[in-house]
Amino acid sequence: MATFIASGGRVWRKFVKTFPLGSNLSLKRSPTSALANGRLSSTSSENVLVSKDEKSGIATVRMNNPPVNSLNTALLLSLRSCFEELEKDKSCRALILTSNKPKVFCAGLDILELYQKSPDYVGQFWEKVQDMWLSLYGSRLVTMAAINGHSPAGGCLLSLACDYRIMAEGNFVIGLNETQLDLVAPFWLRQMMVDAIGYRQAEMALMVGALYPSNKALQLGLVDKLVPIEDVQTVAEEEVKNWLKIPDQARAITKMASRKPLLDELRKRKQEDIQTFRDETTRESVQLSIQQYLDKLKAKK
Ligand SMILES: CCCCC/C=C\C/C=C\CCC/C=C/C(=O)SCCNC(=O)CCNC(=O)[C@H](O)C(C)(C)COP(=O)(O)OP(=O)(O)OC[C@H]1O[C@@H](n2cnc3c(N)ncnc32)[C@H](O)[C@@H]1OP(=O)(O)O
């Protein structure tokens, strides 16, 4: 179900767990930003918040799944539906993906979705990850990651699926740390990393499960620009506007030409990829690693 909420004179659309969606994403303008529609009053079911500036056709998609935007089933479904709806909206030209909670862009897959679950459950969960990725990576829109905080693992996956990455300066990390959890990043995720930072650096990063501070990520090319955290959204909007000076059709066809092989490869190997994920994730030793990792996260406090 998708509904509109009016708050302080601003209209917001909230995406919640179940769909189908309607069609009109038109929203009022914010006094604080050319595109963002002001601050939100949200409830726990609003896991993705979307605003769109009708004039420019730029939508901002804010992940809103406290405390750390971990990608659970509900958030994956909401993101996918949201990406697909924006894709269908002829007046939409670009999408900025960000977090409604600055300091954490996305903590990656919800580890609890992988812990002590049946093989069928994790298989279905993985398919939701695949489908969400297919809709974002294969989007005709200009897609910009406005990474306003930590972005490990699945957070890095989301960022890599976008066309351009702007990250907050400071003590924030990004990278693919899967091996630290005894997990192996799938071929399509590894390939995006190779495409972003080159074979040798990607190989090393993936093997050791490296999480990079934002300045190192910039140096490697894992992100494209660093800005103070309070400027991430504004700079993302400015950058998108530059991209939109290029005719949509030529840009989108060029993007598809470079992404089609990887998209097709996953579509072809989807069931095999699910099977591997099921087998790997439910292995006893992996479950033990996940448990230890969860304990380590809790012990941090
Ligand atoms: C060769 C063939 C291979 C085929 C493929 C096979 C297998 C494929 C396998 C894997 C590929 C998958 C790709 C993606 C994988 C993932 O995304 S795994 C998840 C990895 N995520 C992380 O490691 C991040 C962990 N979290 C953190 O480091 C921090 O939470 C933080 C994001 C830096 C934020 O820090 P802070 O603001 O200090 O918040 P807290 O640490 O205090 O966390 C708050 C609560 O949230 C819980 N939490 C954090 N992250 C997660 C998570 N990812 N999932 C679930 N829960 C999480 C944390 O425990 C706290 O909970 P409590 O408040 O203590 O209850």
Residue 27 near residue 60 (C-beta atoms within 8 A): no
pLDDT digits (tens, 9 = 90+) for 225-274: 999 999 999 999 999 999 999 999 999 999 999 999 999 999 999 999 99
Q: pLDDT band for position 301 (50/70/90)?
A: confident
* Ligand 1 neighbourhood includes 220 CB (under 6 angstroms): no
Separation CA 109–CA 111 (nearest Å): 6
For the residues 198-209, what does the mean pLDDT come to?
98
Separation CA 198–CA 191 (nearest Å): 10
ipTM of the complex: 0.94
CATH of the domain at 185: 3.90.226.10
Residue of the nearest CA to atom 30 in ligand 1? 107
* Ligand 1 neighbourhood includes 42 CB (under 6 angstroms): no
Res 181: pLDDT: 85
Atom of ligand 1 minimally distant from the CA of 297: 59
Residue 255, CB-side half-sphere exposure with 13 Å CA sphere = 20
Catalytic sites, residue numbers: 109, 154, 177-178
Query: What does pTM read for this prediction?
Result: 0.89
Residue given tokens 């298989």 in the structure block: 123
Residue 15 near residue 51 (C-beta atoms within 8 A): no
* Ligand 1 neighbourhood includes 174 CB (under 6 angstroms): no
Residue of the nearest CA to atom 25 in ligand 1? 107
Q: What are 61's strand-pairing partners?
A: 50, 97
Count how many domains the chain has. 1
* Ligand 1 neighbourhood includes 158 CB (under 6 angstroms): no
Residue of the nearest CA to atom 40 in ligand 1? 297
Residue 191 near residue 294 (C-beta atoms within 8 A): no
* Ligand 1 neighbourhood includes 276 CB (under 6 angstroms): yes
* 79 Cα–ligand 1 center, Å: 18
Would strands 48-53 and 10-15 be described as parallel, antiparallel, or unpaired? antiparallel
* Mutation choice for ligand 1 from 63, 65, 68, CB with most ligand atoms inside 8 A: 68
**Residue 205 confidence (pLDDT) above 90:** yes
* Ligand 1 neighbourhood includes 186 CB (under 6 angstroms): yes
For the residues 179-186, what does the mean pLDDT come to?
92
How high does pLDDT run on average in the chain?
87
* 117 Cα–ligand 1 center, Å: 17
* 225 Cα–ligand 1 center, Å: 24
**Residue 18 confidence (pLDDT) above 90:** no
* Ligand 1 neighbourhood includes 153 CB (under 6 angstroms): yes
* 284 Cα–ligand 1 center, Å: 19
Domain that holds residue 111: 2-299
Portion of the chain with pLDDT greater than 90, in percent: 83
**Residue 41 confidence (pLDDT) above 70:** no
Return left, alpha or beta for 92; rule: phi > 0 is left, psi -120 to 50 is alpha, else beta: beta
For the residues 17-39, what does the mean pLDDT come to?
33
Q: What are 144's strand-pairing partners?
A: 96, 164
Q: pLDDT band for position 300 (50/70/90)?
A: confident
**Most confident region among 16-20, 32-36, 139-143 by mean pLDDT:** 139-143
Nearest to 25 by CA among 81, 101, 102, 106: 81
Separation CA 62–CA 67 (nearest Å): 14
